A and B are shown apart, each in its own frame.
Chain A
Amino acid sequence: MRWNRRHLITLEELSLQEIETIHRIATVFKKSLGKHEKKLPYLVGRTIVNLFLEPSTRTRMAFEMAAKRLSADVVSFDAASSSTTKGETLRDTAENIQALNADAIVIRHAAAGSPLYLSKLLGIPVVNAGDGAHEHPTQGLLDTFTMREHLGTLKGRKVVILGDILFSRVARSNVHALLKFGANVTLVGPSTLVPRTFEHMGAKVSHDLRSALADAEVVMLLRIQHERQNSSLFPSLGEYTSMFGLNKTRASWLNPNAIIMHPGPINRGVEIDSELADGDRSVILEQVTNGIAVRMAVLFLCSGGQPAQVLGDEA
């Protein structure tokens, strides 16, 4: 197939074929990661700006590494010491970045819709690295990539996403992608964090952990974002852990071959016990590694690359 998108804003808008194309390219790129000489020449001479207006560690570093491994130059934007602290608008900041001859912008922003807003303003590719509680498309891509590595096909597989769904962009992106792959998605957590409205997306909603986890082949844990919650959505972290935290007993309800995922950062002892986070079933660090390969694929395609350049005749 030919790649026709300049921006990556949501997984909701991507077709299954487009997601699979990204995964196939990521598979090729992943092979280069373990080599001594890791650089690929696809983005030589390009400059990519990481416009991270919200704190991030792994996503920002993964995008930076991904760009560098494609031989691009990377400029990382430090919100704390930038003109945004002087009241500069997002439009002005982004237009200045474009005027500085950047070739693409990767944006992380606390306000949902910000990447879409920038994509309408700018003539350069915009990649969403997480916008508020809306979407985190590259996370959804790397998560489904990781699941496919372990499970093969996702069709008919039972995937449980457990935790703070309401405020999670990761959950939304994963639901969109997983449903396109034909997976059965169950969202679990307290009723205040997992409202029934998510059923409109095509996912199941459950507040009963035992039945939700029974025979699940993937359980993806989400961090309780207590810093976003200014009201009492649940009584305490302790109560959350006692009702919904993943421990050894609860993990035994899963399918024996199930994998445990977490987009990070982990609140150890809150949503997951350390023993499980570091255990055999955990693929949490694989997710991090895969994040580089998937983001390489996204940056390559949004910068004008075509699948055939990487996949050859298989494209």
Chain B
Amino acid sequence: MPSLWIANARVIDPANRRDDVSDVFVHEGKLVSSLPATARKRARKIDGTGLVACPGLVDIHVHFREPGQTHKETISTGSRAAAAGGFTTVVCMPNTSPVADNAGTIQFINDAIRRDAVIKVHPTGCITVGMKGQALAPIGSLKRAGVVAITDDGDCVQANELMRRAVEYAKMFDLPVMDHCQDHSMTQGAVMNEGEMSMRLGLRGWPNAAEDIIVARNVILSTYTGAHIHMQHISSRNSVEILRRAKSRGVNVTAEATPHHIALTDSLLGTYDTNLKMNPPLRTEEDRLEIIRGLKDGTLDCLATDHAPHTDYEKDKEFDFAPNGILGLETALPVTLQTLVGKHKFKLPYVIDLWTRKAAQIVKLPVGSLSEGAAADICLFDPDEVWRYDAKNGFSKSSNSPWHGQDLRGRVKYTIVDGRIVFENGRIV
């Protein structure tokens, strides 16, 4: 593997408080402060002028659909979409078919990762058997098989006693419990946010109170047990406030926000476009702004895409009947740059921190920095390039994106994993 010499880039490494125009060197898959003379001569030199070099992005919430729904996505295609988005590490959800509630399925997923993934992919396991919310999955065996967290994502454990035992038990293995916060009894048949728009459109609404109640439940359980509970894709302003208060008391909870919940609102749904249908749903402007405030003051710990591929024919139907979810990996960086840096005046290093070090910390993965000696996982992007996103020609197997056909600012040029270029100027290498 040739050494790499990224020259003259703006190097942003929040983990090491670094933000300067300089060079980055990679030797034998690791980050080094300089290259040995012989390696320097043979190194592949990348002109980083005008580009930002940062740690490879980390997404702790993706759906790669393998096993069982490989018509939507596979670990191969999903990891390529991730690489195209600048991600070098992702964490995939266990709501596959069958669900990943046993070590054998995790082994199957890990074999596919080893065989097909072009970036680092880590599996999660289920909290409950069959994701049915009735009995604990073999959490210890899942940990031994290599999961980095447990979650029933796509669903939510409704029984409080079971959730209490799950977090207590998982704590023994130092496993975070990630939760999709949704009270089912309040969201039967719901397909969008409950509010003025759902009233106008005649669609069944999903009240943000249904999220708030479970977030509050989880804060109480974390307080009681000391276990780490991570709240996925926070969409409600009240949930942000509940988490803010909990964190001020030192409760062991963390939370993520998605690019779509910080960029879009339910006001867009008048066309009944199923590429705007997701769970939790797009909410109001007040919710959106509070999530952004939560990211700014640290209440929300990181960004995550909830990349959820579905085929065109699955999305091409009546809004009530279309599945929830949108793609996220290839648009995540430009959408968050436009929204947070462009419109809400976040500092660029802060946003990169949300996508790197802070995301990695939640699942305790040793990635997300450009520290000397660390694995050379690097994202190199042009923060100013404007490009038109064509979901139909993207790397995902699906194309269900609300950003299809739109101009985006900020484009990933290179993605480097363990010192190897896996994505270069629009191509998987």
Q: Contact residues of A with B, CB < 8 Å?
A: 12, 89-91, 109-114, 116-117, 131-135, 166, 169, 172, 195, 197-198, 200-201, 230-231
Contacts and interface: CB of A to CB of B under 8 A. Distances in A.
Given A117-B272, A197-B195, A230-B188, A89 B201 contact: no
A111 B318 contact: yes
20 contacts: A12-B200, A89-B316, A109-B318, A111-B320, A112-B201, A112-B203, A112-B319, A113-B201, A113-B203, A113-B319, A113-B320, A114-B318, A116-B271, A117-B272, A117-B318, A134-B201, A197-B199, A200-B196, A200-B200, A201-B200
A112 B272 contact: yes
Contacts of A201: 199-200
Given A113-B272, A117-B272, A91 B317 contact: yes
Interface in B294-330: 313, 316-321
A111 B188 contact: no
Interface string B177-199: 00000000100110000011001
A166 B271 CA distance: 20
Given A112-B272, A116-B271, 6 more contacts: A111-B318, A111-B320, A112-B201, A133-B203, A201-B199, A231-B185
Interface string B195-222: 1100111111000000000000000000
Contacts of A114: 318
A198 B188 contact: no
A315 B271 CA distance: 32
Give the interface size class of chain B.
20 to 34
A198 B185 CA distance: 24
Contact of B189 (A172, A198, A230): A230
Contacts of B200: 12, 172, 200-201
Contacts of B195: 197
A197 B320 contact: no
Interface in B1-56: none
Nearest to A166: B199
B272 A195 contact: no
Given A89-B317, A109-B318, A131 B271 contact: no
Which residue of B203, B271, B318 has the most chain A CB atoms within 10 A of its CB atom? Answer: B318
A112 B199 contact: no
A201 B203 CA distance: 15
A231 B317 contact: no
Contacts of B317: 89-91, 117
Interface string B105-128: 000000000000000000000000
B319 A111 contact: yes
Nearest to A199: B196
Contacts of B204: 133
Contacts, number: 62
Contacts of B319: 111-113, 117
Contact of A131 (B185, B189, B202, B313): B202
Contact of B196 (A12, A131, A135, A197): A197
B316 A112 contact: no
Contacts of B203: 112-113, 132-134
Contacts of B318: 90, 109, 111, 113-114, 117
Contacts of B272: 112-113, 116-117
Contacts of A169: 202
A266 B318 CA distance: 29
A306 to B, nearest CB: 29
A144 B317 CA distance: 32
Which residue of A89, A111, A231 has the most chain B CB atoms within 10 A of its CB atom? Answer: A111
Interface in B306-361: 313, 316-321
A22 B271 CA distance: 25
B316 A133 contact: no
Contacts of B271: 116
B202 A134 contact: yes
B404 to A, nearest CB: 16
Contacts of B201: 112-113, 134
A69 B321 CA distance: 36
Contacts of A89: 313, 316-317
A113 B196 CA distance: 16
A117 B316 CA distance: 9
Nearest to A132: B202
B349 to A, nearest CB: 41
Contacts of A132: 202-203, 320
A128 to B, nearest CB: 11
A132 B204 CA distance: 10
Contacts of B188: 230-231
Nearest to B185: A231
Nearest to A134: B202
A192 to B, nearest CB: 13
Interface string B389-415: 000000000000000000000000000
Contacts of A200: 196, 199-200
A135 B201 CA distance: 8
B49 to A, nearest CB: 46
A112 B202 contact: yes
Given A112-B319, A116-B271, A198 B202 contact: no
Interface in B153-194: 185, 188-189
User: Which 3 A/B pairs are nearest by Cβ-Cβ distance?
Assistant: A134-B202, A113-B272, A133-B202
A131 B201 CA distance: 10
A195 B202 contact: no
B353 to A, nearest CB: 38
A195 B316 contact: no
Nearest to B269: A113
Contacts of A198: 199
A117 B277 CA distance: 15
Interface in B238-255: none
A289 B200 CA distance: 28
Contacts of B320: 110-113, 132
B346 to A, nearest CB: 32
Contacts of A112: 201-203, 272, 319-320
A13 B413 CA distance: 45
Contacts of B189: 230
Contacts of A117: 272, 317-319
Contacts of B196: 197, 200
